[in-house]
Amino acid sequence: MIEFHDVQKYYGQFHALHDINLEIDQGETVVLIGPSGSGKSTLARTVNGLESIQSGQLIVNNHDLSAKKTDLNILRRDVGMVFQHFNLYANKTVLENIMLAPRIVGHVPEEENRKSALKLLQMVGLESKAQNKPSQISGGQQQRVAIARSLAMKPKLLLFDEPTSALDPEMIDDVLQVIKKITSDSDMTSLIVTHEMGFAKEVANRVVFMDEGRIVEDDKTNSFFERP
Ligand code: ADP
Ligand code: ADP
């Protein structure tokens, strides 16, 4: 699903990703950890083309992102992303936020779209908030809506960039439980940037550890956490 071959990424002179080699198969749940500034977010953002790479090869869901003419809109139909800040449309209801992309990009008929959106809201435990505006629900609830929204396009790959770091501590667990549920239920592939070690241990098949723009560890979750 994702293949990095000798990928380099620069911000101006700054070498943000060094010699990245990484393959992630369909269905894997991979957690990306490492110190702040080590390049985790940059790596995740290259996967859906939010950041470009300067050399090497990057293939995501059979699209070659190293080729300049890749159509990112087509790629992003299959690659969802959940950010630290939820970026919900403030003037639309929770339900409308979830229905938007399938309506516009997916051309899904209205009734079917509404039914699937309600089902997603139920899955994240927020069906009672369908008619609320984002400002009327908590940060943790907004993030669960953002997750439901990213699932509405039935992505093959879901990227999470520190999905809980902007949340109050008491909201974190509900969001992590939702992520755990969706990553264990399906053959969707997930790449999750997080600082939540307990969560990483519980949900990931694999842990990739970055430092100063390099991948310094890449191991099955059990072996990663059993190391002395
Ligand atoms: P992490 O997610 O591990 O905290 P980031 O990928 O956000 O790390 O950042 C890696 C490094 O790249 C940091 O030193 C950061 O300051 C730098 N960086 C990130 N984005 C930009 C940018 N748009 N322009 C210049 N430098 C950037
Ligand atoms: P976060 O930790 O939420 O990713 P950051 O402060 O690292 O937030 O980055 C916020 C934005 O600023 C991102 O778009 C990132 O690309 C950009 N950015 C981060 N570091 C730098 C930098 N050194 N120079 C320019 N832009 C940066």
Assess whether pLDDT exceeds 80 at residue 91.
Answer: yes
pLDDT tens readout for residues 4-23: 999 999 999 999 999 999 99
**Averaged pLDDT, 186-193:** 93
pTM of the model: 0.92
Protein residue whose Cα sits closest to atom 12 of ligand 1: 16
Look up residue 143 and give its amino acid.
Q
Rounded CA separation 102/110 (Å): 9
DSSP class per residue in 28-54? -EEEEE-STTSSHHHHHHHHTTSS--S
Closest CA to 175 of 145, 210, 206, 137: 145
Atom of ligand 2 nearest to the CA of 166: 3
Query: Which residue, 74, 54, 52, is CA-closest to 63?
Result: 74
Q: What percent of the chain has pLDDT over 70?
A: 100
* Residues forming beta bridges with residue 191, ordered by sequence position: 30, 159
Contact 190, 1 (CB under 8 A): no
Is the CB of 84 inside a 6 Å radius of any atom of ligand 2? Answer: yes
CA of 65 to the centre of ligand 1 (A): 20
Map tokens 């039914």 to a residue.
115
Tell me if residue 157 falls in helix, strand or coil. Answer: strand
Q: Are 111 and 118 in contact, with CB atoms under 8 Å apart?
A: no
Which residues are CB-neighbours of 123 under 8 A, at least 6 positions away? 148, 151, 178, 181, 182
Measure the CA–CA gap between 29 and 31, rounded to whole angstroms: 7
The response to whether residue 41 sits with its C-beta less than 6 Å from ligand 1 reads: yes
Q: Tell me, in angstroms, the distance from the centre of ligand 2 to residue 63's CA.
A: 26
**Residue 69, pLDDT above cutoff 90:** no
Q: Which of 11, 84, 85, 87 maximizes ligand 2 atoms within 8 Å of its Cβ, making it the mutation to test the pocket?
A: 11
Residue ID of nearest Cα to ligand 2 atom 16: 42
Ligand in closest contact with the CA of 165 = 2
